[in-house]
Chain A
Amino acid sequence: MTIYAKLFWGFIPAVYGLFGLYSGTALAQNDPQPWQMNFRPAATPVMEDIVEFHNLLLVIEGLIVLFVLGLMVYIVIKFNARSNPKPSKTTHNSFLEVAWTVIPVIILIIIAVPSMKLLFFMDKAPEDQVEMTLKVTGHQWYWSYEYVDEGELSFDSNMIPDEDIDISKGQIRLLEVDNRVVVPADTTIRLLMTAEDVLHNWAMPSFGIKMDTVPGRINETWFRVPKEKIGVYRGQCSELCGVRHGFMPIVVEVVSKQDYARWLVKAKNEFANVVKPVTVAQKQAAIR
């Protein structure tokens, strides 16, 4: 294809997107939507709090922007050279100067209080509430998961390439993996994260989770999805990790506890003989 043809055809999906038609797949409400302007639906208490706090911020910040815009419009109308040929020489007003220092401080305090509450709430699940631990490892360019409470259960999760995407199964281009992480609903799950090679970032927008996976470190976070929010959740690697950074999605399937128990039996079978992923050292040896 010539570049012009590419240019032309490249815009077709975007034009379809205008009408929300593109992608062929029927999008679930948890998936990103065409022309979306807001967060995806919250699936965890943490994300609900993030949304609520962000709504507060949005109102405060919107009012600040409108206030400044209003002042500027007034200035343009009132103090242009034609309307006001004689400029004033006022350069001080102690009351105003104190006001525009103190009022922002008060606004910041109003923001800081819920901000701190949210921050401390989302940090870690209390030790006695953790019901399950899942270890996530970032690799160039896929994720692997270990169910540390379930013995040897671990597997890799690779993106399904564009040509193998089956839209009839509800698969979404760039957001579908061969092995989804399956987790039970109504369960407080601790995530332990690390990386094998470079920095990656395990991000799950609907859960309010975004955590770097760092070689040599183990980071911790948590989530709990109520059973009303059972479904499939999608995220993408969120730290530049090399040439296929855009192609290592994360798909979490939240199921009922009963379904999870059934899945565990099946998965332990299926992944029993999976070869462990190659390490960096092995990769380098292979290159040399």
Chain B
Amino acid sequence: MMDTVQAAQDTHDHHDHKPTGWRRWAYSTNHKDIGTMYLCAAVFAAIIGGAASMAIRAELAAPGLQFISDTQFYNVMVTAHGFIMVFFVVMPALIGGFGNWFIPLQVGAPDMAFPRMNNISFWLLAAALVLLLASAFVGGGAGTGWTVYPPLSNSDFHGGPAVDLAILSLHLAGASSILGAINFITTIINMRAPGMTFHKMPLFIWAALITAFLLLLAIPVLAGALTMLLTDRNFGTAFFEPAGGGDPIFWQHLFWFFGHPEVYIMVIPAFGVVSQVVSHFSKKPIFGYLGMAYAMASIGVVGFVVWAHHMFTVGFNVETRAYFVLATMVIAVPTGVKIFSWLATMWGGSIEFKTPMLYAMGFIFLFVVGGVTGITLANAGVDIAFHDTYFVVAHFHYVLSIATIFAIYCGMFYWLPKMSGRMYSEAAGKWQFWITFIGVNVLFFPQHFLGMAGMPRRIPDYPDAYAGWNMVSSVGAAISLVGALLFLWILWRTIVAGEKAPANPWGEEGANTLEWKVDSPAPFHTHDQIPELPDAGVHQPAE
């Protein structure tokens, strides 16, 4: 035992001693390299998922079927867009990417608790992406929507192997997430620097911890449901088949019991990133730190008991709907605490409006816009008017597509100097922000109007009266695409030709986390010695 420990220390003695070539990446057990791979995978998947969304918006730019004459292909695009963006863009970027990079750096640990498991988490995700992409090319593809509702997803209506491949893909992605979650929880609970009690952890660490617990509790439910669907499809069981005593609604309960926590799995890490950025650029500690931490925790807990608000039209009895209305609205309270605490953090600050801060403020405002329409939809009475219309599409893209993608851009600009050791062009970054901000609003705001007028989701062609706002929306998609391409260009220019970044390019005054105490780029091995907590970095609990 002593020998192995000694040997391990010897190999890690020299800074930046690392394997080279493809082995460095394929066999990597280094949290930073794995984080980088997660981010690269997210960018790669975002290009594919983005291409799917552009195909959808091109088709919907005008009434009639102009580009996509095969409506099954349209449904496959809708499905692929949803799966890819949820499981292969937002989660890998915010959780796998930023989580792997910055959890050890911020808690003062040399690496994740289980470095080899970290490696398999990533490669399971890569395999899952391959399976998902394969599913689009066999047997007509999976045109079920990301919700995979049976009976449409059972073997009578999706006979080929496409849905099976998608199910197996989600199984692998789920296994990857569970392993990652175990790793995060263990690292955060056991490997914090001395003195960093729970109530002194940075909010990004709080967010990662809560997200990891949500993953650990929600993903197994999805896995169970997917397995039942798989056996329904292939082995003659009838869990979701009325003719065999099953029930299609049963699937919806299981799916949304996972699916609703899933939306918090995507947005809570975004809360964490935005909290760090707002505090840093305002040069102030977070306002109401404990309230912020426990607001996230309570959103996580309540998120598990509201799932059926996705199912208000399935024919529940009225008392069930009443419960889910009230439970869902409760979530607005901790969310309000977060919004106002961010504003109070900025209040009295000395704010530098660098690109990450613009994205953080954009996140806060647009999350409020998406949040209030969430209150509308929580009321089962009016939800009848909006369910499955473009109003819902607008709502969840405001909170997910706009807000969480803003948090990803925010984190990328904020941490790019730390990850790459180079500075991006601030002017280009600001242009990128404003183009994206205008693009996404032109893209999604008119969809509220389409929803009110009654346009259903997931249709490849629409009555001519809806043409106007759809065209505006497609123009917005084109603008957002320019923003995304500009981001890729900035990323590329920064990595190949950016100026060298100092250890802390954003100023000492608001920096209260440990990653700014190490060089930029962060050395291959960090925190070999137990770090000292920076004074400014200690979030003081209420006393």
Contacts and interface: CB of A to CB of B under 8 A. Distances in A.
Contact of B340 (A100, A122, A211): A100
A111 B375 contact: yes
A129 interface: no
B144 A14 contact: no
A148 interface: no
B351 A64 contact: no
Interface string A1-19: 0010011001111101110
A214 interface: yes
Interface in A85-110: 85-93, 96-97, 100-101, 104-105, 108
Given A79-B349, A112-B329, A174 B462 contact: yes
Interface string A115-135: 110111011100000000000
Contacts of B380: 115, 119
B287 A115 contact: no
Given A10-B61, A14-B62, A115-B325, A69 B365 contact: yes
A22 B443 CA distance: 22
A112 B326 contact: yes
A245 B458 contact: yes
Q: What range describes how many residues of A lie at the interface?
A: 35 or more
Contacts of A50: 381-382, 384-385
B149 interface: yes
Contacts of A172: 463-464
Interface string B442-477: 000000010011111111111111111111000000
B372 interface: yes
Contacts of A245: 71, 75, 458-459
A166 to B, nearest CB: 15
Contacts of B145: 240
A69 B464 CA distance: 35
A79 B387 contact: no
A173 B72 CA distance: 21
B273 to A, nearest CB: 18
Nearest to A103: B336
B157 interface: yes
Contact of A237 (B339, B353, B456, B510): B456
A73 B19 CA distance: 51
Interface of A: 3, 6-7, 10-14, 16-18, 22-23, 27, 31-40, 47, 49-50, 53-54, 57, 61, 64-65, 68-69, 71-72, 75-76, 79-81, 84-93, 96-97, 100-101, 104-105, 108, 111-112, 115-116, 118-120, 122-124, 140, 162, 172-175, 193, 197-199, 201, 203, 205, 208-212, 214-217, 219-220, 235-247, 280, 284
Given A23-B463, A84-B349, 17 more contacts: A35-B469, A36-B452, A39-B452, A40-B454, A76-B353, A76-B361, A91-B540, A92-B288, A92-B542, A96-B344, A172-B463, A209-B384, A214-B315, A220-B315, A240-B144, A241-B152, A242-B75
30 contacts: A32-B465, A34-B464, A36-B452, A50-B385, A54-B385, A64-B368, A68-B364, A71-B343, A75-B346, A79-B348, A84-B348, A88-B349, A89-B285, A90-B287, A100-B337, A101-B337, A105-B333, A108-B330, A119-B322, A119-B381, A173-B464, A201-B387, A238-B456, A240-B145, A240-B457, A241-B152, A242-B143, A243-B71, A245-B458, A280-B156
